[in-house]
Structure 1
Amino acid sequence: MVTQEEMIEKQLKSRGISDEKVLKAMQEVDRRLFVPEEMKAHAYEDRPLPIGKDQTISQPYIVAYMAEKLEISPKNTILEVGTGCGYNAAVLSKLALHVYSVEIIEWLAKLAEESLPKIEVPNITTRQGDGFAGWPEKAPFDAIILTAAPASIPNPLKEQLKIGGKLLAPVGENSQKLILLEKTGKDSFKEKTLLLVNFVAMTGKAESN
């Protein structure tokens, strides 16, 4: 059975995750609290794990990699599209001032609401809804992260990003690329492709956009 310490050393540090704040967040947020009882023995393995109804919790390396690439500071306000079970939001909450997270699937939103209090994270606000529209009343955001893949990045999310902010999203229908956008002006962005990835498709309005 893989231990949390082995997860940090072998799956993160040995693969290039070097930001001490990210490593500390991954240590502080126990992935075991976010997986079903029957999967707890596998909690620290570096792979997605099923959490029910064809949904998964992301692999630790990808969670850490995405957090590191966003370069989050303690003054930052983050928008997460796709709360899932709440694990990724919990990690981000250790790095940011506040995390706003929206989940389209009702039972997952409820699961996150039940899981997150276990680790006492007062700086996360969640709600159930279509993340395509973002969270306009809390915008603009210093960083936006998507944990489900749209065919293209929704314009409302680009609009809700601060100038100088970063947006990280898996993009594509069949094969996906992890895209990092940096907002350089009101309607201008610098784009960089980071990795080939495999995320669930973004649903809701993104499907018809």
Structure 2
Amino acid sequence: MNLEQTRFNMVAQQIRTWSVLDDNVLDLLYKIKREEFVPAENRAMAFVDMEIPLGYGQVMLTPKMEARIVQELHVKKTDKILEVGSGSGYLTALLADRGAHVYSVEIIPELKAMAENNLKAHEITNVTVEQGDAARGWPKHEPYDVIVLTASTPVLPDAFQKSLYPGGRLFAIVGEDPVMEALLITCVAPGEFTTTKLFETSTAPLINVLQPSRFTF
């Protein structure tokens, strides 16, 4: 089976069946080659419905999750985007294609370098990859039109919502095993937000996430 047939099968069997039906998003999956952002030793798994190890305890999200995130955020060409967790740079590349500029923050230096190298190889220039800990917010370039957390957080810090422009959208996976929910939070007016529960899922938390307060006896 050739590469493009395998990509087609991924889109048809995994992504479309997970309610990703926006033709612009589907076209993007053919345009930006996912396998070129996967570490060489795991490239054979590029189209498999699984999280792919990147090293350092981190993973690429599943293909259907990446596509669903891009669809739900309705990214526009004028959007300034914050991505928390660069990983290999693949979701960064998808967001950059749809938006004006992506500020992607990665806490692990080796993954920051991986993302930068992958983006450079694909001549994607409207991205700034920064090293730092953005698990509790990244006000440096706020306000943002779009914010994406690429791993889960037990509690969602208020800083992210406060960093949104009116009309801005935030995607976050919130909770702890066994119950995590993917949320789309929209700033409808200054200080006012609506929350849409998209689906239940489970993925590893960001490093240094905000922890819920625990009862002690």
> TM range, normalised to the smaller chain?
over 0.9
Tell me which of 157, 164, 168 is aligned to 2:160: 157
| Distance in 2, Cα, partners of 1:208 & 1:172 | 9
Q: Kindly provide the CA deviation profile for residues 113-156 of structure 1, in whole angstroms up to 9, marking residues without a partner as x.
A: 12211211111111110113533232111111101111221222
User: Is 2:150 aligned against 1:147?
Assistant: yes
TM-score normalised by L of structure 1:
0.92
Q: Which amino acid aligns with 2:199?
A: L
Q: CA deviation at 1:187?
A: 1.9
TM-score normalised by L of structure 2:
0.89
2:138 is matched with which residue? 135
Q: Which amino acid aligns with 1:181?
A: I
User: Is 2:9 aligned against 1:6?
Assistant: yes
SS at match of 1:147: strand
Verify the 8 A CA contact 1:72 1:96 in the aligned structure 2. Answer: yes
Tell me which of 22, 29, 37 is aligned to 1:34: 37
User: Is 2:53 aligned against 1:50?
Assistant: yes
Q: Which amino acid aligns with 1:180?
A: L
User: Is 2:105 aligned against 1:102?
Assistant: yes
Identity between Structure 1 and Structure 2 (%): 33
| Distance in 2, Cα, partners of 1:75 & 1:144 | 14
- Asked which structure has the greater CA Rg, the reply is 2
Deviating 4+ runs (over 4 angstroms): none
What aligned pairs does 1:117-128 form with structure 2 within 5 A after superposition? Answer: 117-128=120-131
Report the more deviating stretch, 131-140 or 53-62: 131-140
2:194 is matched with which residue? 190
Verify the 8 A CA contact 1:82 1:146 in the aligned structure 2. Answer: yes
Q: Which runs of 5+ in 2 are unaligned?
A: none
Q: Which runs of 5+ in 1 are unaligned?
A: none
| Distance in 2, Cα, partners of 1:14 & 1:205 | 32
SS at match of 2:35: helix
| Distance in 2, Cα, partners of 1:96 & 1:177 | 25
SS at match of 1:92: helix
Q: Kindly provide the CA deviation profile for residues 88-136 of structure 1, in whole angstroms up to 9, marking residues without a partner as x.
A: 1111111111111111122211211122112111111111101135332
Tell me which of 155, 167, 175 is aligned to 1:172: 175
